[in-house]
Structure 1
Amino acid sequence: MEWKLEVVPIPVTDVERAKKFYSEQVGFSVDLDSQVSEDVRLVQLTPPGSACSIHLNTGIAGPPPGTVRGLQIVVPDIEAARAELVERQVEVSPVRHYEGSDLVDGPGGRWNSFVFFDDPDGNGWVLQERAEGE
């Protein structure tokens, strides 16, 4: 039996602002934007090449905006991914890596290069470099 993570809910205060951030700045594809009722709106977006989407909504109970941290996306080239986000005016960290438990600037070895950024509500994302084919 296969188990596939399909959608991760991301709590936001303003769905339209979040939709613009994720689609226009981060580069996610908009899969669904549906006004279910006057009080309920659903927006689903997917990172390029990912089988898992994120879900933004209003009118549905969930955790408070800005409380989701550590969402991780793997990329084949951390420098290129960072440059793409900077070009789209996303505030990102420099490339960093772990030396023991310390996070320091600069690329690390295999699987040890990261870039961090937050959405407008403070939900936190991590890009991690994974070499092609791994």
Structure 2
Amino acid sequence: MPEPTVVVRAADYFQSYSVVGLLGVLGVLFVAVAFGAGRLLRPVVPTPEKLLTYECGVDPVGDGWAHTQVRYYVYAFLYVIFAVDSIFLFPWATVFAADGYGATTLVEMFIFLGFLAVGLLYAYKKGVLTWA
């Protein structure tokens, strides 16, 4: 006996997503009204003292512009790369547990980790990871 087919009408499909869309619009509208009310109701009295840089209760000394060494950006960039790559490991772990995909996914993941290792080795050879 064939299984009965489920006919999904376009109106039902639109109705289910219209609720999600309406909640999204209401959320954005609520945030916009809150920011607008805050802007209209706050007192605006700029004084030279209020325009100074605030440093945790201590009188500001020198310029408010602080320079950061470029070497920190390289470490942050490498961290972001490996954090994004680690995100790909979680779906792999779920597929690896499925029947019939074990060996193939294991080989694919070792190839992926090999590319990561080559990139890390390249960064090490270029001297990016040395703290100068």
TM-score, length basis structure 2: 0.19
Larger Rg: 2
TM-score, length basis structure 1: 0.19
Hey, which of these two has a bigger chunk of strand by percent?
Answer: 1
Hey, which of these two has a bigger chunk of helix by percent?
Answer: 2
Tell which has more relative contact order, 1 or 2 (C-alpha 8 A, sep 6+): 1
